[in-house]
């Protein structure tokens, strides 16, 4: 059996699954002051149905780190940055203890200026005097050569609680993002580790002891709790991806499609390409700072079931504000749900209140309440359509760098809409009409997020970079940094990155992956020429284990996803 819990902004959802299907589910309110309490409460609900004996795995998706970052409840971090020429690194300042260290590398990872170790020692000492216990060490072009970061780490060894080395985060080249990500990772480290300890303790107290305890990431994959203790920043914004993975588990999309998750105040939109959820190419922003945290491509639209409807000079005004619940549920302002109540003849809550509210609005337009309600619903659908088209056009404008890719460019063209979330179901037929695409509303749509958390499998990305002129090879996230022969080839690079990734997962995470499950997502091999002769090759391979559903449970919640 597996257990999935998603601690969301409003609710904490839990599901317990066997291979045959859902055993129990629970929904409790999230208490932001006490997330652990919310988790314990949800666990208690599940325990009422089942003792959870033989629980194999517990996957947790939590807003803990997201909240801490958004509310700026962060520990002080000693950020040590070394950079070669380019944009002045002073512009990337973050946190209260940011220091620029003399030393730099160029774009090939060649040292231009040696690292000033005396300066490092001085900065570290100053930080420690100020009580700084966690550090982030970031070098420009460190994925090409981690040497400067490692030199700084050697100075810090034994003098801090924790340090994040920039190159271990990602092989992607982006210095400002590396700085921000490394900063946030260390800044949430103390709090996340306290939380992780409490979770383990609580499970013990409740007599639940899954052999595998995982944390959900924003890219729809999981990481082990031990991995999360080192890389807590990866746990941010896992909520939307939990819902997306829930949809994958239930519907198994195979074509290009759009997912709409309609909640009370917002609708989250995601896109599938040939059934795979799209990952943000440049990773996500955190408090306006772009980071290297891999996330699913989602767009949040300020339009939900509880969005307030009003009139302005421009006509109908829907959202983005929520002024309490719908009138059918005792609210004061008409909402999208009230309009749906009328057009659909839903008999949801107090229909009279819904009608009265819409009637009042309709007066302004000199329309009947029925027509006004229709107008509201159509406006919502049209806005969702507009946003979907805009998101798609952005995705389809994605830059490519080869003649072949540009000419063979495959556009994403959705064939279906998946609709989840509470008010979503009521909107289905209208959305189908406006978008001109079949709409599917899966079962269990209310707990899609917890299902996704429960059923997600691990993900990982690794980039290999080899320079046969310098005879070096690096795979930054795996800590590989070694020499290669001058005739090292792209074929070998492919085999190496896949093999190393599998070995890393088996050794470090006790997770056996077949090389066939590792995808090569990008690769290039270019001759390096000096004057008129070839002096080496620049080889790059990027591989990933994409988000997916754990294999033994792939039929657990598979439902017949009929179109309307």
Minimum Å gap between C-beta 454 and another protein is 34
Closest to another protein by CB, 467 vs 496, is 467
Task: Give CA–CA dist 201/209, Å, rounded.
Answer: 10
Q: Say which DSSP state 278 is in.
A: P
Strand partners, 276: 273
Instruction: Name residues contacting another protein, limited to 3-42 (CB under 8 A).
Output: none
Q: Which of 173, 317, 509, 559 binds another protein (CB under 8 A)?
A: 173
Closest to another protein by CB, 407 vs 516, is 407
Instruction: Name residues contacting another protein, limited to 532-561 (CB under 8 A).
Output: 532-534, 538
Q: Is 402 in the site for another protein (CB under 8 A)?
A: yes
DSSP 294-350: --B-EEEES--TTEEEEEETTEEEEEEEE-SS-GGGT-SS-BHHHHHHHHHT---S-
Minimum Å gap between C-beta 90 and another protein is 8
Closest to another protein by CB, 347 vs 400, is 400
Q: Which of 56, 107, 321, 411 binds another protein (CB under 8 A)?
A: 107
Tokens 């570290």 belong to: 124
Read off φ and ψ for residue 11, nearest 5 degrees.
-115, 155
Q: Which of 288, 345, 485, 514 binds another protein (CB under 8 A)?
A: 288
Closest to another protein by CB, 4 vs 109, is 109
Q: Say which DSSP state 351 is in.
A: H
Q: Is 562 in the site for another protein (CB under 8 A)?
A: no
Element (H, E) at 382: helix 369-396
Instruction: Name residues contacting another protein, limited to 139-158 (CB under 8 A).
Output: 140-141
Task: Give CA–CA dist 473/495, Å, rounded.
Answer: 13
Burial of 422 (0-12, 13-18, 19+ CB in 10 A): middle
Minimum Å gap between C-beta 51 and another protein is 50
Task: Give CA–CA dist 110/102, Å, rounded.
Answer: 15
Tokens 């996500």 belong to: 284
Instruction: Name residues contacting another protein, limited to 176-235 (CB under 8 A).
Output: 176-177
Task: Give CA–CA dist 287/290, Å, rounded.
Answer: 8
Closest to another protein by CB, 177 vs 217, is 177
**Site stretch for another protein (CB under 8 A), options 13-21, 69-77, 86-94, 239-247:** 86-94
Helices (H), 130-220: 147-156, 175-205
Minimum Å gap between C-beta 531 and another protein is 7
Neighbours of 460 (CB within 10 A): 24
Helices 336-344 and 351-365: crossing angle in degrees, nearest 10, is: 100
Closest to another protein by CB, 143 vs 264, is 143
Q: Which of 72, 131, 404, 436 binds another protein (CB under 8 A)?
A: 404
Q: Which of 524, 555, 563, 564 binds another protein (CB under 8 A)?
A: 524
- The two tokens of residue 329 are 């549920």
**Site stretch for another protein (CB under 8 A), options 57-65, 257-265, 324-332, 524-532:** 524-532
Task: Give CA–CA dist 161/147, Å, rounded.
Answer: 21
Helices 35-49 and 175-205: crossing angle in degrees, nearest 10, is: 50
- The two tokens of residue 396 are 């389809």
Q: Which of 512, 531, 551, 560 binds another protein (CB under 8 A)?
A: 531
Q: Is 528 in the site for another protein (CB under 8 A)?
A: yes
Minimum Å gap between C-beta 194 and another protein is 31
Q: Is 175 in the site for another protein (CB under 8 A)?
A: yes
Minimum Å gap between C-beta 219 and another protein is 19
Q: Which of 129, 403, 516, 560 binds another protein (CB under 8 A)?
A: 403
Residue 490 three-state SS? helix
Q: Which of 33, 88, 157, 487 binds another protein (CB under 8 A)?
A: 88
Tokens 């109540």 belong to: 341
Minimum Å gap between C-beta 521 and another protein is 15
Minimum Å gap between C-beta 545 and another protein is 23
The count of residues interacting with another protein (CB under 8 A) is 44
Cα separation values, 89 from 147, 179, 282, 301, Å? 19, 10, 20, 34
Instruction: Name residues contacting another protein, limited to 438-497 (CB under 8 A).
Output: none
Q: Which of 86, 315, 320, 330 binds another protein (CB under 8 A)?
A: 86
Provide the binding-site residues for another protein, judged by CB under 8 A: 84-89, 91-92, 106-108, 112, 140-141, 172-177, 282, 288-290, 397-404, 406-407, 524, 526-529, 531-534, 538
């Amino acid at each position: 059996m597996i257990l999935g819990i998603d601690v969301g902004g409003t609710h904490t959802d839990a599901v317990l699954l066997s291979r045959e299907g859902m055993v129990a589910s629970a929904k409790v309110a999230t208490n932001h002051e006490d997330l652990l309490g919310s988790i314990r409460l949800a666990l208690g609900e599940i325990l009422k149905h089942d003792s959870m004996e033989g629980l194999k795995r517990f996957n947790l998706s939590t807003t803990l780190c997201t909240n801490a970052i958004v509310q700026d409840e962060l520990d002080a971090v000693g950020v040590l940055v070394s950079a070669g020429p380019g944009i002045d690194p002073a512009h990337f300042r973050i946190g209260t203890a940011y220091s620029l260290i003399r030393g730099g590398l160029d774009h090939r990872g060649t040292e231009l200026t040696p690292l000033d170790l005396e300066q490092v020692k001085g900065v570290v000492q100053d930080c420690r005097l100020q009580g700084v216990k966690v550090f982030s060490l970031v070098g420009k072009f460190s994925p090409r050569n981690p040497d400067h970061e490692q030199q700084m780490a050697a100075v810090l060894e034994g003098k801090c609680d924790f340090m994040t080395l920039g190159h271990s985060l990602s092989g992607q080249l982006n210095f400002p993002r590396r700085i921000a990500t490394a900063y946030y990772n260390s800044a949430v480290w103390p709090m996340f580790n306290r939380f992780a300890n409490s979770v383990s303790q609580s499970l013990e107290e409740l007599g639940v002891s899954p052999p595998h305890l995982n944390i959900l990431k924003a890219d729809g994959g999981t990481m082990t709790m031990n991995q999360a203790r080192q890389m807590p920043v990866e746990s941010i914004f896992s909520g939307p991806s939990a819902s997306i993975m829930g949809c994958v588990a239930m519907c198994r999309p195979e074509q290009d499609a759009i997912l709409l998750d309609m909640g009370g105040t917002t609708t989250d939109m995601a896109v599938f390409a040939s059934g795979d959820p799209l990952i943000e190419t440049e990773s996500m922003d955190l408090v306006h700072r772009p980071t290297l945290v891999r996330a699913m491509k989602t767009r949040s639209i300020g339009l939900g079931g509880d969005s307030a409807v009003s009139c302005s000079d421009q006509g109908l005004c829907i959202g983005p504000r929520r002024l309490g619940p719908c009138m059918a549920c005792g609210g004061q302002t008409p909402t999208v749900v009230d309009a749906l109540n009328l057009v659909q003849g839903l008999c949801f809550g107090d229909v009279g209140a819904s009608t009265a509210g819409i009637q009042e609005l309709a007066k302004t337009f000199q329309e009947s309440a029925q027509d006004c309600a229709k107008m509201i619903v159509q406006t919502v659908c049209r806005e969702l359509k507009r946003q979907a088209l805009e998101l798609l056009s952005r995705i389809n404008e994605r830059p490519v760098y080869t003649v072949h890719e540009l000419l063979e460019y495959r556009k994403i063209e959705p064939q279906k809409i998946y609709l989840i979330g509470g008010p979503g179901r009521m909107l289905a037929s209208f959305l189908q009409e406006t978008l001109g695409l079949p709409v599917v509303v899966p079962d269990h749509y209310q707990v899609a997020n917890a299902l996704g958390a429960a059923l997600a499998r691990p993900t990982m990305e690794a980039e290999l970079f080899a320079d046969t002129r310098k005879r070096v090879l690096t795979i930054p996230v795996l800590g590989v940094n070694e020499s290669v022969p001058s005739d090292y080839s792209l074929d070998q690079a492919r085999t190496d990155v896949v093999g190393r990734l599998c070995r890393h997962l088996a050794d470090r995470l006790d997770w056996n992956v077949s090389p066939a499950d590792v995808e090569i997502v990008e690769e290039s091999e270019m001759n390096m020429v000096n004057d008129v002769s070839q002096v080496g090759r620049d080889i790059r391979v990027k591989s990933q284990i994409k988000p997916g559903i754990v294999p033994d449970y792939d039929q657990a919640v598979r439902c017949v996803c009929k179109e309307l």
